[in-house]
C-alpha cells in the first residue's frame, strides 16, 4: 500500500483489521430505490466470506438460471460482511425469497424496471473494528478523521492495482514503449521469492531462454503466461509475438497500472494541497464527472471548500486534457521524466484516450467509539476504498 499520508501530523493508531469478517461491514448506498414494478427482481442480500461474483454464481445455480441474468452495482470484498442489492431477470420474487444458501441471507425483495449495472451506486457505508489498540486510539482517530473530513482522502491507486509481483505498471510501460524483449523478461522471467517453487523454476528457465522447458513446467492456470510462451516456442524464440498474442483485457490492465503509477507520482507531489486549487488546474466536478480549466483559483476555491470540485490529475492517454501553469509544468515534467509524449499511448488495437481523476474523495459522517476495540463508521462515494481511510488512521 502507498505509504504517503496526508495526515502525517497525526500519529497512527496501529492495530489489526479484518480479524473476523464481522469486523468489516459494508452496506451499499443505492443510487435509486426500486419502484415496486418491473420485470427485474431486486434482492438485498447480506453475505459473508464470499466475493460478489461467487455469491452471484451460488444464487444463479440455486435458481437454475444463467449468472448473466443477475446484475450488480458494485463488487464487494469476500473478507467482510457486506450488504448489497442484486437484480435478477426472469424469476419470481417468491423463488428468490425461498432461497436458503450458506453465508447468504435474503434481506429484502422488490421489483424494478431495469437491470442493475456497475455504477448504479451512490456510495458505501462502512462499519469497521480495529483490534489490538489502546483506548487512547479513540482521540487519535478522531483527530485524523476530522482532518480528512476537512481536506478529503488522497485518491491514490492502491497496491492491488500493481499485482502480487508489484510490476504491472512496468509491464504497461513496456507495452507503451513496444519493448517486447524486456516485456518477456519481466512478464515471464525474474522469479521472486514469494512465488511457488514451480513458478520460480519456470521463470528461471525463461531467464535462460529455455522456452519449451519453461512451458512444460508452467502451471495450467497461468493462461496468459502459457499462451505467450506457446507463441514464442512456435516461432523459434521470436519475442515480438508476445504483444500479438496477449489479449486486449490483459494489455489494458497493464497499461492502466502504468497510468496509475504516473498519477500516484503526481499526487505525492500535490499531497499537502489536495484541497486547494491553483491557477491552471483542471478541476473535477464530482457530481458530473466532468472537468474544466481553472483560470482563477481564488474565484473557484469556495466550490472546492464545499467539495463540489477538486483539483485533478491526469490519467495519461492520447486525448488527456493537461493542466496549465504550474500544475501543467508538473504534469509535463512527469511525462519528460519517463521520456513520453501523449501520442506514445497509441497502442494498436486499443484506445488509450486518458482522463482526469480527482486528487481526493470525500469522507462523510465519520463516527468513532470504543467497544472492546476501536469502532468506526463512515460513508464514501462509489469507487472509493475504505483501505485509504484506514491507512491514514492506522499508518501501519
Characterize 324-347 residue by residue with b for buried, 16 or more Cβ atoms within 10 angstroms of its Cβ, and e for exposed.
Answer: beebbebbeebbeebebebebbeb
Say if residue 243 is in the same domain as residue 281: no
DSSP element (H, E) containing 356:
strand 355-358
DSSP E strands, 297-353: 309-315
For strand 290-293 and strand 309-315, is the pairing parallel, antiparallel, or unpaired? unpaired
Residues 299 and 348 in one domain: yes
Helix axes 180-188, 223-234, angle to 10 degrees: 130
| pLDDT for 360 | 98
CA-to-CA distance for 310 and 149, rounded, in angstroms?
Answer: 14
The secondary element (H helix, E strand) that includes residue 144 is: helix 137-151
Domains contained in the chain, number: 3
Looking up cell 504483444 gives: 243
Q: What is the DSSP letter of 345?
A: G
The answer to whether residue 330 is domain-embedded is yes
CA–CA dist 247, 349 (Å, integer): 10
Is 8 within the bounds of a domain?
A: no
State the residue range of the domain holding 223: 168-248
Give the Cα separation of 226 and 171 in Å (integer).
Answer: 17
**Cβ–Cβ under 8 Å, residues 382 and 123:** yes
d(CA 46, CA 58): 13
| Residue 212 near residue 221 (C-beta atoms within 8 A) | no
Q: Are residues 179 and 217 in the same domain?
A: yes
Question: Three-state SS for 154?
Answer: strand
CATH, residue 211: 1.10.1510.30
Residue 23 domain-assigned? no
Task: Give the CATH number, domain containing residue 299.
Answer: 3.30.2350.20
- Tell whether 172 is covered by a domain: yes
Looking at the fold, whether 278 and 241 belong to one and the same domain comes out as: no
Same domain? 238 vs 286: no
- Residue 109: partners with Cβ closer than 8 Å, 6 or more residues away: 41, 42, 43, 44, 93, 96, 97
Residue 2 confidence (pLDDT): 56
> Which residue among 118, 134, 159 closes a domain?
118
Tell me the three state secondary structure of residue 78: coil
Q: How far is CA 273 from CA 36, 77, 291, in A?
A: 46, 31, 18
Contacts (Cβ under 8 Å, ≥6 apart) of 275? 150, 151, 152, 304, 305, 310, 360
pLDDT in tens, the chain (396 residues): 457 999 999 999 999 998 898 999 999 999 999 999 999 999 999 999 999 999 999 999 999 999 999 999 998 888 899 999 999 999 999 999 999 999 999 999 999 999 999 989 999 999 999 999 999 999 999 999 999 999 999 999 988 889 899 999 999 999 999 999 999 999 999 999 999 999 999 999 999 999 999 999 999 999 999 999 999 999 999 999 999 999 999 999 999 999 999 999 999 999 999 999 999 999 999 999 999 999 999 999 999 999 999 999 999 999 999 999 999 999 999 999 999 999 999 999 999 999 999 999 999 999 999 999 999 999 999 989 899 999 999 998
Residue 255 to residue 259: CA distance in whole angstroms: 6
Angle between helix 325-337 and 248-270 (nearest 10): 130
Predicted local confidence at residue 176, as pLDDT: 97
**Domain co-membership, 278 together with 346:** yes
Asked whether residue 63 is domain-assigned, the answer is yes
Report how far residue 27's alpha carbon sits from residue 17's, in angstroms, rounded to the nearest whole number.
17
Shared domain check, 237 and 282: no
pTM given for the model:
0.90
Q: Is 9 helix (H, G, I), strand (E, B) or coil?
A: coil
pLDDT confidence of residue 1: 47
Distance CA 320, CA 307 (A): 23
Q: Which of 23, 77, 100, 207 is catalytic?
A: 77
Both 41 and 107 in a single domain? yes
Residues 289 and 357 in one domain: yes
77 is catalytic: yes
Amino acid at each position: 500500500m502507498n505509504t504517503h499520508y496526508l495526515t502525517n501530523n497525526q500519529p497512527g493508531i496501529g492495530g489489526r483489521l479484518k480479524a473476523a469478517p464481522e469486523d468489516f461491514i459494508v452496506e451499499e448506498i443505492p443510487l435509486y430505490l426500486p419502484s415496486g414494478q418491473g420485470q427485474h427482481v431486486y434482492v438485498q442480500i447480506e453475505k459473508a466470506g464470499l466475493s460478489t461474483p461467487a455469491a452471484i454464481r451460488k444464487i444463479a445455480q440455486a435458481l437454475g438460471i444463467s449468472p448473466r441474468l443477475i446484475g450488480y452495482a458494485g463488487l464487494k470484498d469476500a473478507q467482510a460482511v457486506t450488504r448489497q442489492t442484486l437484480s435478477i431477470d426472469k424469476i419470481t420474487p417468491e423463488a428468490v425469497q425461498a432461497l436458503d444458501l450458506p453465508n447468504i441471507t435474503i434481506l429484502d425483495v422488490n421489483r424494478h424496471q431495469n437491470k442493475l449495472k456497475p455504477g448504479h451506486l451512490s456510495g458505501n457505508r462502512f462499519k469497521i473494528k480495529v483490534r489490538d489498540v489502546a483506548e487512547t486510539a479513540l482521540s487519535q482517530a478522531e483527530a485524523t478523521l476530522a482532518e480528512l473530513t476537512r481536506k478529503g482522502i488522497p485518491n491514490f491507486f492502491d497496491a492491488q492495482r500493481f499485482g502480487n509481483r508489484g510490476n504491472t505498471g512496468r509491464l504497461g510501460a513496456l507495452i507503451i514503449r513496444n519493448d517486447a524483449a524486456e516485456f518477456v523478461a519481466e512478464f515471464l522471467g525474474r522469479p521472486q521469492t514469494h512465488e511457488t517453487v514451480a513458478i520460480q523454476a519456470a521463470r528461471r528457465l525463461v531467464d535462460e531462454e529455455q522456452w519449451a522447458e519453461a512451458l512444460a513446467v508452467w502451471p495450467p492456470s497461468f493462461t496468459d503466461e502459457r499462451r505467450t510462451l506457446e507463441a514464442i516456442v512456435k516461432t523459434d524464440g521470436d519475442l515480438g509475438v508476445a504483444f500479438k498474442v496477449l489479449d486486449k483485457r490483459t494489455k489494458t490492465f497493464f497499461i492502466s497500472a502504468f497510468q496509475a503509477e504516473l498519477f500516484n507520482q503526481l499526487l505525492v507531489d500535490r499531497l499537502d494541497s489536495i484541497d486547494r486549487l491553483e491557477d491552471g488546474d483542471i478541476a473535477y466536478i464530482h457530481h458530473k464527472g466532468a472537468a474544466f480549466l481553472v483560470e482563477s483559483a481564488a474565484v473557484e476555491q469556495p466550490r472546492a471548500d464545499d467539495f463540489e470540485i477538486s483539483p485533478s490529475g491526469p490519467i495519461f492517454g492520447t486525448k488527456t486534457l493537461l493542466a496549465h501553469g504550474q500544475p501543467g509544468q508538473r504534469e509535463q515534467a512527469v511525462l519528460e521524466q519517463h521520456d513520453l509524449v501523449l501520442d506514445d499511448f497509441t497502442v494498436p488495437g486499443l484506445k488509450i484516450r486518458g482522463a482526469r481523476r480527482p486528487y481526493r474523495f470525500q469522507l462523510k459522517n465519520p463516527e468513532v467509539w470504543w467497544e472492546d476495540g476501536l469502532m468506526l463508521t463512515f460513508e464514501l462515494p462509489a469507487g472509493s476504498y475504505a483501505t485509504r481511510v484506514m491507512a491514514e488512521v492506522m499508518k501501519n
